[in-house]
Structure 1
Amino acid sequence: MQNFQELFEIGLKFHGHKCPAMPMGLKAGLAAMKVLGVERSKHKELYVKAETGKGHAAGCFLDGVMTATGCTYGKSNIQKLYYNKMAFTLIDTKTGKAVRVSLKPDFFEKALASPFVQKRKAGVLPQDIDPEITDPLVNRIIGLKESEFLDIGKVHTVDFKKGKGLFEIKRCEKCGEVTFVNKLRVSPEGKTVCMSCSGYQD
């Protein structure tokens, strides 16, 4: 497994800016992996059910979790539940063993009162915040013990069903674009069409 510093550098490049929340997620992901005794996912050995949402503070947490675990949207081994909570469940898909990890409420409440977050509230972009504000906060997160900021649940077993990969494609008879067959629809005119051309709206 890559060491923490290597993963931290990967996380910074992937995430795009330096902030406290990404390393929170990185350390949380590594903590969950340690509890389950698993290595970083190369294919779909692990699965994350993330409880973070959209547009709330510290959503950067999830990029840290993804960096640590190797669970990505491209590999389809992460699911976002949109609960707007700073928590996730990591599942070992081979054994069904799982563990839920969340930020301690007191810790997160204090984190949201930090100078970094106050700047964000004022509309300052994270990459434009003075390193004199950002760096000490990030370094503090890196130096924390898991027990100081994480609530780690008990290992439990879930009924995890692995899906089969889909390889069959067809061209949409309206726009001509290649589409995997499970998302094709039959139009009122009897043509096989993609979701976009079918007029379907989620």
Structure 2
Amino acid sequence: MFEAKDFFDLGLKFHGHKCPAMPLGLKAACAAMNTLGVERAKDKELMLLAETADNHAAGCFVDGLMTVTGCTYGKSNIKKLYYGKMAFTLIDVKNKKAVRVSLKPKFFEKMLESPFIAERKKGIAPQDVAPEIVDPLIERVLNLKEEDFLDISPVFNYDFKKTPGVMDVDFCDVCGEAVFIDRLKFIDGKQVCIPCSEKLTQK
């Protein structure tokens, strides 16, 4: 069984600062992993579709998800859907099964009224929020019961299509840099990288 407390030190080192949202991600990810009955991804055994967006309060949630699941941007097995929701779907690629986990709306609303968020609204950086404010919130999160803050779907079928990795590169005719071949563009008889293609089309 996956337990959020077992991942907290790793999550904190990876994430960089103390806040309530990262351990919420740890807890939610553990719930998803236990529901699916899967192991942490070493490669692309899992796929995670995060419904969060950018520059929203509690976006740190996603770092907790990555810490537990092993779904990372480097392995290309996590994607942001930019829905602006505190929710995600975790997919067992081999068995084509998935589960969707979301924060209960009332819980999340109350969380945004916390003294930590009040400090953040003043422009205080998360790492500068006083320990007497943030530490009790983290302790509370780590001891939450799943049913008190998460909505967990039944496991459902998900026909995820794996795409093969791109292993070959060629060179941009303009800047000379190596580019993976699926990202080369062809303009006026030249093969070019995306930044060079944008410069050429702006002329």
TM-score where L is the length of structure 1: 0.96
Cα distance, 1:159 vs structure 2 = 1.3
- Which residue is 2:171 aligned to? 171
User: Residue 2 of structure 2 contacts residue 33 of structure 2 at CA under 8 Å; is this kept in 1?
Assistant: no
Show structure 2 runs of 5+ residues with no match.
none
Aligned equivalents of 1:155 and 1:162: distance in 2? Answer: 20
- Which residue is 2:96 aligned to? 96
Aligned equivalents of 1:148 and 1:4: distance in 2? Answer: 15
- Which residue is 2:193 aligned to? 194
What are the superposed Cα offsets for residues 77-104 of structure 1, whole Å, 9 maximum, x if unpaired? 0010000000000000001100000001
1:43 aligns with 2:43: yes
1:114 aligns with 2:109: no
Cα distance, 1:4 vs structure 2 = 3.8
Where do 1:178-189 residues align within 5 Å?
A: 178-188=178-188
Where do 1:122-133 residues align within 5 Å?
A: 122-133=122-133
Q: CA RMSD in A?
A: 1.4
Q: Secondary structure at the match of 1:82?
A: coil
What are the superposed Cα offsets for residues 47-84 of structure 1, whole Å, 9 maximum, x if unpaired? 00000001110000011011110000000000100000
Aligned equivalents of 1:114 and 1:174: distance in 2? Answer: 52
Aligned equivalents of 2:178 and 2:194: distance in 1? Answer: 12
Aligned equivalents of 1:198 and 1:155: distance in 2? Answer: 44
Cα distance, 1:3 vs structure 2 = 5.7
Cα distance, 1:150 vs structure 2 = 0.5
Aligned equivalents of 1:130 and 1:70: distance in 2? Answer: 30
Q: Residue type matched to 1:195 in 2?
A: I
1:85 aligns with 2:85: yes
Identical-pair percentage: 62
Runs of 4+ in 1 over 4 A off after TM superposition: none
- Which residue is 1:76 aligned to? 76
- Which residue is 1:160 aligned to? 160
- Which residue is 2:10 aligned to? 10
Cα distance, 1:6 vs structure 2 = 4.0
Q: Residue type matched to 2:100 in 1?
A: R
Aligned equivalents of 1:172 and 1:27: distance in 2? Answer: 45
Report how many residues are paired: 200
Aligned equivalents of 1:162 and 1:92: distance in 2? Answer: 11
Q: Residue type matched to 1:37 in 2?
A: G
Aligned equivalents of 2:60 and 2:2: distance in 1? Answer: 21
Aligned equivalents of 1:113 and 1:124: distance in 2? Answer: 16
Cα distance, 1:19 vs structure 2 = 0.3
Q: Residue type matched to 2:127 in 1?
A: Q
Aligned equivalents of 1:103 and 1:174: distance in 2? Answer: 48
Show structure 1 runs of 5+ residues with no match.
none
Cα distance, 1:168 vs structure 2 = 1.1
